Structure 1
Amino acid sequence: MDKGKIVSLEERIPKLKQHRKKKANRRLVFLLSLFFLLILSVIYFQSPLSHVKKVEVTGNVLTTSEYILENSDISKGMNVWSVKKSETEEKIEKLPEIKEANVKLKLPNSIRVELKEYSKEAYLLKGSSVYAILENGEILKSQKINTIPNDAPLLKGFKENEVLKEMIKELENLPDAVKQSISELILVPKKTDPYHITLYMNDGFEVSASIRTFSEKMVHYPSIASQLDPERKGVIDLEVGSYFKAYETEGEKQDEENESEG
């Protein structure tokens, strides 16, 4: 037997003692760290540091931060750990303008509310008042608009019914560039088509169309308009096919009157 590989018990005892001492020291450090962490936690929870000092609301355009906070369970001064994230998000998402809400805690004492709103598809003229209409069909009656905006089409002649909802869905399917080129959109029912609408475009043309085929045909408007003389305005008919009829000028009207007299 190789005597060089034999370790006596006397030699092993100091090493075992040293190993046990290190293990005991590590355990003591862990327990002391845990103790101080608990002490700090108690101090934090009992001090103003754990009270909501700042609430930040982002992503809101249609709504104000004050409006969001009034309709949530968050208020300055409350304990940050008492904010129920999922319940607060659900409550905020019940607001007609809000598509999605995300509540985040930012230590030590701030709350961040990230919002995603429904997009604004059009405005509705009702009497002498104007209201925004969202992509989900909601009419923001709580936000009366005093001046006629130009960032979305103005709808006239519509009632709050299925026809209006169908119109909003059709607008939603349009590219933004086409949608923003519409100034006014008026419901003008015919005996042959109760969904007939007349559009007044920002470039001066008029469009005759039907809600049922509106987005399908109106998507081609830029191409159609580009082929027309911009100096000669008229009506672009998209009801059945697609054709253009220019407005009669004063000279043309006079010529027709002279021909009829002759």
Structure 2
Amino acid sequence: MSENENVKQFDSKYLKAKRIARRRKQRRIQFIVFGILLLFIILLLLYMFTPLSKIKEVEVKGNDNVSTSEIKKTVNVTNRSRMYTFSTKKAAKKLEDKTLIKHANVHKQLPNKLIVDVSEYNIVGLVKKKDDYVPILEDGKELKHLSGSASNGPVLTGFSKGKKQDIIDALNKMPSNVRAAISEISYEPTKGSENQIKLYTSDDIQVLGNIRTIAKKMKYYPQMTEALDRDESGNLKRNGYIDLTVGAAFVPYSENDDDQSDSEKNVKAGSEHEDKAKDELQETLNKIDKNKDKSDDKNN
């Protein structure tokens, strides 16, 4: 046998052995893939047809006014509810059909947990109905079925339908801590200003404002009250009110106010009081207002 024939025969054996090794490797890979697939199917069947897939826990987030138990009742998870058949879209739709819930997101977390994340409409105020107080949502709806419920919103008095929606929109734009500091808002227009309102705060400071601008200006109410001069007990050294109708100013009451009844000490306006407001308190408040305007200009 010639040398070339020996080489060819060797090459043929080598290639044949290589093909056999390749086939064996492919079979091993196929067996591994098949084994993994079979194991996955077995685990899936075990999960689907055993208590493992039943929803065991419902976690609720973002709710303040709607109770957790009420949300869970609406989602309606039963002993038969399973993760792979439960419709999160239907559950979210049921939640959003409730008056207080603005948006709901329901999603699953393996192995058997349901997470419900809701955002609610703000309760921005209260209106008196007969002998009770009814909460009002940011969209203007009155929650008569929740009358008597505690709320941090101010009591609205004297507002017509259109003006009431205007003040509701303004309240919804205010930070929650500022809104909670307002105990009452009354609509008291004058010949010169049909949008004039009076705010009564929980720290006994009256605020005169305009419906159109009150939301922007009241954002700075915490800084305004801190700027006012107080004694060691925290009481104002000079009684007065904050005027936000034009700019921002602290206007002291006249000296005769001490002899008047509380009802006569309501918010006042006039040249006499405006002249007395030219003090450090007013300058501080005006500085806050100017900084606000500069910030607004930059944002725009």
Shift of the alpha carbon at 1:33?
2.5
Matching residue's letter, 1:138: K
Q: Residue 231 of structure 1 is aligned with which of 209, 229, 237?
A: 237
Matching residue's letter, 1:246: Y
> Is contact 1:204–1:233 with CA below 8 Å preserved after alignment?
no
1:202 aligns with 202
In the TM superposition, 1:45-60 aligns within 5 A as 45-60=48-63
SS at match of 1:71: helix
2:46 aligns with 43
2:167 aligns with 167
> Is contact 2:210–2:245 with CA below 8 Å preserved after alignment?
yes
Question: What TM-score, normalized to structure 1?
Answer: 0.77
1:211 paired with 2:218, answer no
> Is contact 1:55–1:76 with CA below 8 Å preserved after alignment?
no
Per-residue displacement from partner, 1:146-177 (whole Å, max 9, x unpaired)? 55x5x332323446x33222111112233445
1:154 aligns with 155
Q: Residue 68 of structure 1 is aligned with which of 71, 75, 80?
A: 71
Shift of the alpha carbon at 1:236?
4.0
Q: Compare 215-224 and 34-43 and name the one that shifted more.
A: 215-224
Between structures 1 and 2, the one with greater helix share: 2
Separation (CA, whole Å) in 2 of partners of 1:31 and 1:90: 41
The 1:223–1:59 alpha-carbon spacing in structure 2 relative to 1, beyond 3 Å, is: closer
1:128 paired with 2:131, answer yes
* Structure 1 unpaired stretches of 5+: 252-262
The 1:57–1:12 alpha-carbon spacing in structure 2 relative to 1, beyond 3 Å, is: same
> Is contact 2:74–2:91 with CA below 8 Å preserved after alignment?
no
* Structure 2 unpaired stretches of 5+: 231-235, 261-300
Question: What TM-score, normalized to structure 2?
Answer: 0.68
The 1:196–1:126 alpha-carbon spacing in structure 2 relative to 1, beyond 3 Å, is: farther
Q: Residue 246 of structure 1 is aligned with which of 244, 253, 263?
A: 253
Task: Please list every run of at least 4 consecutive aligned residues from structure 1 whose deviation after the TM superposition is greater than 6 angstroms.
Answer: none
Shift of the alpha carbon at 1:71?
2.6
Shift of the alpha carbon at 1:47?
1.8
Matching residue's letter, 2:259: E
SS at match of 1:8: helix
1:15 paired with 2:18, answer yes
Separation (CA, whole Å) in 2 of partners of 1:98 and 1:218: 27
The 1:189–1:128 alpha-carbon spacing in structure 2 relative to 1, beyond 3 Å, is: farther
> Is contact 1:129–1:146 with CA below 8 Å preserved after alignment?
no
